[in-house]
A and B are shown apart, each in its own frame.
Chain A
């Protein structure tokens, strides 16, 4: 079994202080990067580690950084996506609650690699307590010379600020996050241009998820080969799997990327409650396509999940047992997306609310024979035709439920 990398020092006693973090080698990776490596060397190490984004899209972090123009010394920004809104996902909360300095060290390393002097952490509005703790951690780090002017006595300076969201799922989408940071409604931007060239305040911007950044200290300290070796498949490293729903031990499990889904559900999360049998698993947050019991011998990595017709997303695993009527899942899922659609583009605004109205009518006992076909038609009309990935996120679960549990839903 892989030695935990991110969660080694997680315990129930609350967030680790800077001194506790430093006692176990904390900030040594950032010091190493800033004092003995060039920004290019850091970037190349992260590229070779094949660190893929842990927020949902799975884009390689090093590649993302390399899109930021090297030339020019105008302002550029790092935005940390701590919006964690994907239902079934709570891993970033764990990092923030237990080891905020792990995130801060990752922020220093990323900022150094890309030449960024200003970082904003955009954290869910609901994580108010965690935002306050993070601000305390920032003050601690600054007090030790790890942030602010002349980090580790070098010529590199970095300021980190925390901004709270205010309850909008869409702000986890990176361009909606930028809009929100700038003081607008969280409505996604058209791409291109991509944030790497035109991002926050129109300047080159990197947006990385909390867990992605938390992986950087390990990569710098132990090297890309070590990181790749932690994974069981092409994806490097470990992943934080959030497991919730009908299991004995819901929680966050740090395991090798590529660990089989069945092993996570039945071994690590303790399997099902007594007397229950498995009905379905949602593998990568609410937006990922649902899997039947016979489909869960899949490796939890980006490519394997895509091949299985779903996605690893944010690795939020929701387990559903035989006591749950699938219509209640359809009901809950469609309610969520109708509520969270930002309303900017027509297929999503109309599609999610139309789907919702049909499901609500079915719920009230007034279903019609062609309702499922109509739902599939509407979801199909949204898929691939919206401004941002939200449309696919809203359509996928509906299509998956109808395809795989249509018989039950008809009943």
Chain B
């Protein structure tokens, strides 16, 4: 059983595949597109992507599991990525993570029972001057304090 992608997504995938002299090179961009659409890349999606890129499913799996931005399971409605690398830690990154742990009642890697938030700890987001920082979905937020995190979560509902 292969996943059926919506028409629009198929169009975008075809455009991406055409960018490269070899189909395989479209693998990462296609996985990004599928994840954007579905929120994650499930087993059926993997097989569909393998067909598109002309690859055995195992080749998709090995790439999918190598890169940390790809998810094989659904995340909560909002994804919270907290940086705890050195520069952010020096500005209180661990404190921000602890605060989120406490108010959400989950550990990094887990989703709140209401399905609202997934909390993860990430390596450097390349915004060390704004540390401590976190990303909520695609948006970067910096110079965080506990109060600011509370405000962001209220808005992110």
Residues on A facing B (Cβ under 8 Å) = 75, 84-90, 92-93, 124-129, 161, 163-169, 180-186, 201, 242-246, 250-252, 282, 286, 316, 318-320, 324, 328-329, 332-333, 336, 339-340, 342
| Tally of contacts, chain A with chain B, CB under 8 A | 138
Known: A89-B126, A184-B63, A318-B128. 7 other contacts (CB 8 A): A90-B129, A165-B28, A166-B28, A182-B24, A183-B25, A243-B129, A324-B90
CA distance A86 to B128 in the complex (A): 11
Is B87 engaged at the interface, CB distance under 8 Å to the other chain?
yes
Is B104 engaged at the interface, CB distance under 8 Å to the other chain?
no
Is B127 engaged at the interface, CB distance under 8 Å to the other chain?
yes
Top 7 closest pairs, chain A to chain B, by CB: A166-B67, A244-B128, A183-B27, A167-B69, A167-B68, A244-B87, A250-B129
Interface flags for B89-107 (1: CB within 8 Å of A; 0: not) read 1110000000000000000
Is B153 engaged at the interface, CB distance under 8 Å to the other chain?
no
Residues in B with CB closer than 8 Å to A166 are: 28, 31-32, 67-70
Q: What are 11 A-B pairs with beta-carbon distances under 8 A?
A: A87-B123, A90-B127, A165-B28, A181-B25, A183-B25, A185-B67, A201-B21, A244-B90, A245-B87, A286-B124, A320-B90
The residue from A161, A164, A242 contacting B32, defined by CB atoms under 8 A apart: A164
Q: Which residues between 118 and 144 of chain B lie within 8 Å of chain A, taking CB atoms?
A: 122-131, 135, 138-140
Find out whether the CB atom of A332 lies under 8 angstroms from the CB atom of B84.
Answer: yes
Find out whether the CB atom of B22 lies under 8 angstroms from the CB atom of A333.
Answer: no
Please give the distance in Å from B25's CB to the nearest CB on chain A: 5
Please give the distance in Å from B50's CB to the nearest CB on chain A: 11
The residue from B67, B84, B91, B128 contacting A125, defined by CB atoms under 8 A apart: B67
CA distance A250 to B132 in the complex (A): 12
Residues in A with CB closer than 8 Å to B127 are: 90, 93
CA distance A342 to B67 in the complex (A): 10
CA distance A185 to B28 in the complex (A): 10
Please give the distance in Å from B15's CB to the nearest CB on chain A: 11
Is B53 engaged at the interface, CB distance under 8 Å to the other chain?
yes
The verdict on A126 contacting B135 (CB below 8 Å), with A88-B124, A93-B127 known, is yes
CA distance A286 to B140 in the complex (A): 22
Residues in A with CB closer than 8 Å to B21 are: 75, 201
Find out whether the CB atom of A169 lies under 8 angstroms from the CB atom of B86.
Answer: no
Chain B's closest residue to A285 (CB) is B124
Find out whether the CB atom of B69 lies under 8 angstroms from the CB atom of A336.
Answer: no
CA distance A4 to B140 in the complex (A): 27
CA distance A75 to B25 in the complex (A): 16
